[in-house]
Chain A
Amino acid sequence: MDISQFERVTDYEWRIAPFGEMHVPAVIYADQDLLREMDQKVYEQLTNVATLPGIVQAAYAMPDAHWGYGFPIGGVAAFDPAMGGVISAGGVGFDISCGVRTLLTGLRASDLAPVKQKLADRLFEQVPAGVGSTGRLRLDAAEMDAMLRGGARWAVERGYGVAADLERIEEGGCMAGAEPDQVSDHAKQRQRGEVGTLGSGNHYLELQEVAEVFDARIAARFGLHAGDVVVSIHCGSRGLGHQIGTEFLRKMVIAAPGHGISLPDRELACAPIDSPLGRDYLGAMRAGINCALANRQVITHLAREVFAEILPGTRLTLLYDVSHNTCKEEQHIVGGRPRRLFVHRKGATRAFGPGHAALPADLRDVGQPVLIGGSMGTSSYILAGTEAGMAHSFGSACHGAGRAMSRHQATRQWHGSDLVRDLASQGILIRSPSLRGVAEEAPGAYKDVGAVVEAAERAGLSRKVARLRPLACIKG
């Protein structure tokens, strides 16, 4: 887009002063090239978000921002319920609590080499991925509600993982305030066979090698050393979250005039946080968060079983689990005083700085691990939250590379089988039920994730800790 529309605050911060109905400015964190490559829709969507009731400080976009639904993907916005602030189903997205977790294996890339092929094959067999796949678990109504209340804690209590895992998950693995009664029967029906499944699209389970360390001190605290093997899992709340998003978006569109809210775009549908509909959504969305946390926990268990079979004695320990499609109630300092805000992060990762009470005690002095997923075949990054980020973006950073090209363009440019062969020649094994799915997710269809994390660091949102290189990717 045209960068003359912005006031340049620094080389990595671009501001749009409020105009029209905007209550606050809009701010994009990016370098000039990333900003120029962004779709004009990001400008439109971000300035629309700035018109919503009760928005605080600014509407923010991260360096990987792109055209989303109402909110840009890579958008961050906080609302104050005391000022008539709203909660938006579109501002959270369809895949509630989609996120990334990374597990340390204690293995070196050289240990893995002789069994990499076998490991990839077994993971592909054991972790359900792609359209129509179902998990091992079938939840009855009572277990479904228990899962929606308990999240990863529910999974651990049923033997899928260990108590130590919970300390390394946001909210201790269990989002408080979840209300399974606000989740429709359709949503629960959609989830019945989907617990412990990866899904499709850009979701994956990847074996990765720590290829580069940028901050040795923090990397050591995170348990990362060059040459180490880690496992990363990217997925969300599956059909249940999608159905909650669909149903509440519709309810909020229809109820908006009754709440005195005029929507510049229907996808921005929202309801006052302190309204019955706002509270119902909050309860359902929090249940969706627990569903995603339980899902990633069950998949972790499946990965551990495969490692135990092929490399007995290997212990997979959880480094951290982040969600990047959420609305969370948090306290932030605004204008010098603490305020209780509802922070929407749509395609943005929470990135709390050192000292934050929400961080696990043993990582509190270094800041939160911020896990940035790559696209198939490209690098992923691990960053750490910073103090500056708390003030810049309510403690938020980017979440991935962001698409540069539509799926349709990607399938015209690449063939799945060629990509699988090319990546194999670079030592990256791809296992996927769909070659067209592989083509749609071609590495070249995404922006350069390296440029995105560089901009996030330069803007002060997070600090680079390590770069991960893919070794094998199980793709949905």
Chain B
Amino acid sequence: MITSYWQHFPHQADIGVRGVGPTLAAAFEQAALALTAVVTDPARVAPNEAVEIACEAPDDELLLADWLNALILEMATRRMLFRRFSVNLDGHRLRATAWGERVDVVRHRPAVEVKGATYTELKVGRIEAGLWLAQCVVDV
């Protein structure tokens, strides 16, 4: 059985987020979880409130950066953290729902704020039969 997962990978000054899944949309969802995990343990976040996100880009790689940057903007302006994601892709157009809650410093113990998703180590594509990868470095 193919499972989805996320990882962090090292960058000297910052941190890389990586999502892997059976579809490109699943890989994007996992990359978003990896983004939350830069700030806090996603298990501490309650998926109480839904936020809709839409973006469009000229290619899949820019779309990943746009997706993560749209989440970073929502995290910053709504002061929220997200735990669950549902991504729908139609070509290079993305529509998604992210579920989360407002930051609670005591419960979430947020380690660091993310400034932006970068184009460093930005890769989106198939890695092996039936598995997609979506990754980039985020500036913290």
Binding site for B on A (CB under 8 A): 39, 41, 66-70, 73, 93-95, 130-134, 186, 189-190, 192, 199-201, 239, 242-243, 245-246, 249-250, 253-254, 265-267, 269, 402-403, 405-409, 433-437, 440, 476
A-B contact pairs, 30 of them (CB 8 A): A69-B120, A69-B139, A70-B119, A94-B115, A94-B139, A95-B115, A131-B39, A131-B110, A132-B103, A133-B105, A134-B79, A192-B77, A199-B113, A200-B111, A201-B112, A239-B76, A242-B115, A265-B119, A267-B118, A267-B120, A403-B12, A406-B11, A406-B12, A407-B14, A433-B110, A434-B112, A435-B109, A436-B112, A437-B110, A437-B112
Q: Which of B31-65 contact A (CB under 8 A)?
A: 39, 58, 62, 65
For the complex formed, measure the closest distance between the CB of B56 and the CB atoms of chain A, giving whole angstroms.
Answer: 12
Interface centre among B77, B109, B110, B115 (most CB of A within 10 A): B115
B88 proximity list for chain A (CB < 8 A): none
Identity of the chain B residue whose Cβ is nearest the Cβ of A132 in the assembled complex: B103
Interface mask (B126-139 → A, CB under 8 Å = 1, otherwise 0): 00000000000101
* Complex partner residue of B62 from A69, A186, A250, A434, CB under 8 angstroms: A250
- A to B contact number (C-beta, < 8 Å): 120
Task: Compute how far the CA of A389 lies from the CA of B109 in the bound complex, rounded to whole angstroms.
Answer: 44
Cβ of A68: which chain B residues have Cβ within 8 Å of it? 13
Q: Are A408 and B111 in contact (CB under 8 A)?
A: no
Whether A434 lies near B119 (C-beta < 8 A) is: no
Whether A242 pairs with B10 at a CB distance below 8 angstroms is no
Give how many B residues have a beta carbon under 8 Å from the other chain's beta carbons: 37
Q: Are B109 and A69 in touch, CB under 8 angstroms? A: no
- Say whether, besides A201-B140, A434-B109, A186 and B73 are in contact (CB < 8 Å): yes
Contact A190:B77 (CB < 8 A) given known A267-B120, A407-B14, A409-B10: yes
**Which residues of chain A are within 8 angstroms of B110 by Cβ–Cβ distance?**
130-132, 200, 433-434, 437
Q: Does B87 contact A (CB under 8 A)?
A: no
